[in-house]
Structure 1
Amino acid sequence: MRFEFPIIVLVVLALAVRPSDAEVRLDRLFPSGAQRDSTLEVEFTGEFPEWPVSVWVSRPGVEFSPLSEAGDSRRLLSQVSADAELGIYWVRVFNASGASALRPFIVGNAKETIEQEPNNSLSDSQRDPYEATKNKSIVFNGRLAKSGDVDMFSIQAEAGDYLVADVDARDPLGSDVDIVMQLVSPDGFVVAHNDDQQSLDPRITFRVPKTGRWHVRLFGFPATPNSTIRFAGSDSYIYRLFVTTGPTLNYSLPLAVQSEGETRLKLFGWNLTESDREHVILPRSGSSETVFAISDTSQPLRIPVVPRPVVVEPEAHDETIPVDLPVTITGRIETAGNRDCYEIQLRSKESMIARLESRELGFPLDGVLEIEDPQGKSLKRVDDTNSTRDVEVDFTATDDGIVRVCVEDLHGNGGDDFVYRLTLTPTTPSFKTTTSEHQVIVKAGASVEIPVQITRQHNHQDVIRLMADGLPAGIQVDEATSEADKDSAKEVKLNLTASEDAAPYSGPIRLVANDNKQRSYVAIPLSLASERQHEIWLTVTPPEKDPEKEPGNDAE
């Protein structure tokens, strides 16, 4: 079966691409995002053996067209449609010899501008260029370009406003920098400081006590610490700084929506009016998440769509809450020392998985999961899983009866933003598949192997069949199988063959894994671990030329 790619935009900028001696490489885009319904010059940095290049975007709404060239950095015009979905778009460049890895480009609602040097001090602090229009939100696209670099930006704020400043750098842009942010008052005093609110990226929220010009100061260190004690800088230290004094969202209750029917969300954030505090979601059929914003001043919320009931912890309760498997629960540890408990009825030998998410969602809860019997005796307690501060527990009941799943903060802290998502599901055998390759290059008349790594979970023993979708004419991928008790349990190699008459080709294909119960696509490597993309790039090049068959080389 040939797989169709309904969410792919393919923008061919070179109408006749000749074979190149080298593949392209895309290191980054700057600026790394744009406002919906806008056009913007974007600098592509990498290696481009020929220009213009062709550009592939992971979904409709964003297109790029070439403008000029300047050394290793080339400029293209981004065109973002008015109905483009908010969020991350994955971009790659390609030619007849191969393709780059995927790089992120973010579409938002707020107005955007680019950092202008010098802006290292209070007197040089860069202003919002749209300030005269009473604009309340702005995205500064910047770069800590050299060692010792400090960037400062200012925004006019009224007494009583909440000023929200949020940096995207390490996550989701993949910048190798740990940025520190400070908020500086109109008279030059540091009033707030943050460096790791969300992964390595900072966020500050501050109630402005007096009207005036408030300043955001950024500086950074290498994401991987070294002996450097100075502020670090590099062309690759790019970031997006969102600053607002308008209505903006922090989270919703619940933190997930069910795939069937409508879900009414209760919204939380800053500077919200009563009409901003509720929103009804009807997920698009087949979608894995929904993204929305309440206005052009708000950062969008990304909310997963799940195939199970969704429950919100009742407010002001002290009792244990009964739930049935499977379920996704949203709760909040509102006060210091508080813990939330949920009761589940299990049969003897029945297993369940409890997964707690909070810190990885950008919230401060350092979660602990504890499984207890009805009398409060601890049966299992976990506070970290796989070097993260979020938790997953696999539990098997020894007898019929009720068990309690309890959530608390490791340090006994609590607050309005100590929010969590707790998913409880029966333990069922499952698997995940990935490949270390983002592309496959093959000559006509030749074959290549594609390695696929397999992670079997919860005693998965079934045979997994691997194949390919979306292949062009002349390309064949032999089906491969992974068996739990053989060497193929953890890795298989798919053999891809191009016939001798296969035409040159550049485009995406997908690798599929199927055990007759679960069908999924093989994930490819990305700079952002929490994201998933499945389009591996296939390049078919002309066959090797046979010197004996070249004109003038006929045998006498």
Structure 2
Amino acid sequence: MWLSSAAAPELEGFHPTGGQIGSTNEVAAFGKFDPWPPSVWIDSAGLALVSTTNKGKFQAVIAADARPGPCLVRFYNAEGASEPRFFVIGSGAELADREPNDHFTNATAIAALGVTINGNFDKREDVDNYAVELKAGERLHARMESHTLMSKVDAVLRLVDSDGYQLAWNHDHATFDPLLEYVAPKDQKVIVQAFGFPYPAGSEIRLAGGEGSFYRLHLTTGQAPAHLAPRGESLAYGTPVTGVLTNVAQRDAFTLPVKKDQWVSLQVRAAQIGSPLDAWIQIQGADGKEITRADDSNGSADPALEWKPTMDGEVKVVVGSLTRRGRPDFRYELLAAAAPPAFKAVLEKGTLTLKPNEMNSVNLKIERFRGHTNKLEARVTGLPSAITATCTNVPAGNGSAVVAFIAPADAPPFQGPVVVKLFEAATGLEQVAPFELVSRSENNGVPGGYQQLAIPQVEHLWLAVLSNAPAATQAAK
């Protein structure tokens, strides 16, 4: 016999990772949950996870009036809380992956398109196959979500015919997740193959599998997306224009009115909307000379820039292709916006643990933009009555501030979200300081972290006020 101390839950994800509105489904949770069951917090009132007697298994109950989209889920117990993970409420038909379907000759038949398949690569070298019947001229649209849901797989989609001949494939698209489209030249059966590599990548080149290798595969059919020509030759602040660069020499130019010392923000969305265009953006003066230019922004392939005009008048905003190519699917959206002085704050951690008669703190990273100088004050809302929070060192410029939380000796246990905000007295503006789930890292050239997620940040700090009582233990043989 051995004894193990209870610990805070560790949640890695779910399979299936989603479900249809109005349905009830059995869901397996990946991670460590001792003791069982943990308590569950969900940011959506339309979803409930009801624990069963089988460890790691829940009934996911989705209300008929639930709002579709991704939800954040945390597990917690007397020792603390897990990091949040995703469960998706789907608005259409949902299916669960059924094994065996590891070869194109025994693919799972999909009776009707317009469906989402919840799958998990159960073992190393696993490939899931799905058979679809297409009519001549029909367009198949296959899109996978895995990386954006914090899966441990870098997924690939491959399309083959009934003889195994490759028709199309895609590895990464707008994110690390794949998307492919195929127009059937005749009535035919095609097989969508889903597989992937471990993420983050290791030293072995093998297909991924095991707990946490989950995905959602969306299979639909329909018309090609509209490739719109630019709407006019002028930009209006706050109203996006849409265009497509169809030939090698094409550059789209738009007139934008500007005023001296009033900041302008310009953003191009191409990769973010699934376009293969690698765009650049440029501002030209009345003489046609370049004032400023950008091609990438903050790790994204899409360009963005901010500029402070030195005069009143008009400028040209020009969009082009960095690779000097043009195609009918080189779509983009361009948005111009006024950019007044502003500030931003983010939490440097997402959970905070306290015990009675103790103090703990969280750092706020504060950035000011475009000459912002107004005084800022940190505030915390949603605190239990026994807990106090103070912050007196918000910097006048960029920097960090410390928010201290204090629990008195008689503080009762508490687990839940509290909200840290920055208050600007001069304007009355309050702004939430979130914890960012997105992250970027690199180890010897190998990317890590999750740069784009279904929900990029959590709008709260999870506060765990623990008991001073000794931790519970579990006996095992």
TM-score (norm 2): 0.87
1:502 to 411, 419, 422: 411
Amino acid at match of 2:64: A
Is it true that 1:63 corresponds to 2:40 in the alignment?
no
Is it true that 1:191 corresponds to 2:167 in the alignment?
yes
CA–CA distance in 1 between the matches of 2:458 and 2:43?
A: 9
Report the equivalent of 1:95: 77
Deviation at 1:534, TM superposition (A): 1.0
Report the equivalent of 2:124: 147
Is it true that 1:237 corresponds to 2:213 in the alignment?
yes
Amino acid at match of 2:156: V
CA–CA distance in 1 between the matches of 2:420 and 2:223?
A: 39
Report the equivalent of 1:86: 68
CA deviation map 1:46-93 (0-9, x unaligned): 1112222211111221111012324xxx10000111221111111111
1:216 to 173, 192, 196: 192
2:95 to 113, 128, 134: 113
Amino acid at match of 1:81: A
Report the equivalent of 1:261: none
Structure 2, unaligned runs of 5 or more: 439-449, 471-477
Q: Is the 8 A contact 1:333 1:339 kept in 2?
A: no
Amino acid at match of 2:417: P
Deviation at 1:168, TM superposition (A): 0.5
Amino acid at match of 1:502: A
SS in 1 for 2:239: strand
Report the equivalent of 1:308: none
2:9 to 24, 29, 32: 24
Q: Is the 8 A contact 1:500 1:543 kept in 2?
A: no
Alignment of 1:382-397 (within 5 A): 382-397=294-309
Report the equivalent of 2:288: 376
CA–CA distance in 1 between the matches of 2:353 and 2:179?
A: 42
- In 2 relative to 1, CA 482–239 (structure 1 residues): closer, same or farther, beyond 3 Å? same
CA deviation map 1:8-51 (0-9, x unaligned): xxxxxxxxxxxx84211111111111111111111111111222
CA–CA distance in 2 between the matches of 1:350 and 1:524?
A: 30
Provide the alpha-carbon RMSD of the alignment: 2.4
CA–CA distance in 1 between the matches of 2:264 and 2:371?
A: 13
CA–CA distance in 2 between the matches of 1:76 and 1:232?
A: 25
CA deviation map 1:81-117 (0-9, x unaligned): 1221111111111112211111011111232222233
Report the equivalent of 1:435: 347
Q: Is the 8 A contact 1:352 1:425 kept in 2?
A: yes
Is it true that 1:327 corresponds to 2:238 in the alignment?
yes
1:484 to 396, 401, 424: 396
- In 2 relative to 1, CA 506–387 (structure 1 residues): closer, same or farther, beyond 3 Å? closer
CA deviation map 1:351-378 (0-9, x unaligned): 3221222213332221210101133222
Is it true that 1:537 corresponds to 2:462 in the alignment?
yes
CA deviation map 1:205-234 (0-9, x unaligned): 111222232101122223444443333334
Report the equivalent of 1:296: none
Residue identity over aligned pairs, in percent, reads 29
SS in 2 for 1:480: coil
Report the equivalent of 1:10: none
CA–CA distance in 1 between the matches of 2:359 and 2:229?
A: 55
1:511 to 420, 434, 437: 420
Report the equivalent of 2:143: 166
CA–CA distance in 1 between the matches of 2:409 and 2:49?
A: 34
Report the equivalent of 1:304: none
- Name which of structure 1's ranges 492-501 and 338-347 shifts more when overlaid on structure 2: 338-347
Structure 1, unaligned runs of 5 or more: 1-19, 251-267, 270-311, 546-556
CA–CA distance in 1 between the matches of 2:155 and 2:353?
A: 38
Report the equivalent of 1:351: 263
Report the equivalent of 2:331: 419
Report the equivalent of 1:526: 437
CA–CA distance in 2 between the matches of 1:398 and 1:406?
A: 19
Deviation at 1:239, TM superposition (A): 0.9
Deviation at 1:483, TM superposition (A): 1.7
SS in 1 for 2:291: strand
Q: Is the 8 A contact 1:462 1:483 kept in 2?
A: no
Deviation at 1:536, TM superposition (A): 1.7
Amino acid at match of 2:218: F
Amino acid at match of 2:8: E
CA–CA distance in 1 between the matches of 2:327 and 2:91?
A: 29
1:34 to 19, 22, 27: 19
Amino acid at match of 1:66: S
CA deviation map 1:317-337 (0-9, x unaligned): 5xx32x34x323131215224
Amino acid at match of 2:399: K
Amino acid at match of 1:411: T
1:470 to 382, 392, 400: 382
Deviation at 1:471, TM superposition (A): 1.0
CA–CA distance in 2 between the matches of 1:35 and 1:226?
A: 35
CA–CA distance in 2 between the matches of 1:212 and 1:346?
A: 55
Aligned length: 449
Alignment of 1:287-326 (within 5 A): 314-315=230-231, 320-321=233-234, 323-324=235-236, 326=237
Deviation at 1:513, TM superposition (A): 1.0
Is it true that 1:123 corresponds to 2:105 in the alignment?
yes
Report the equivalent of 1:276: none
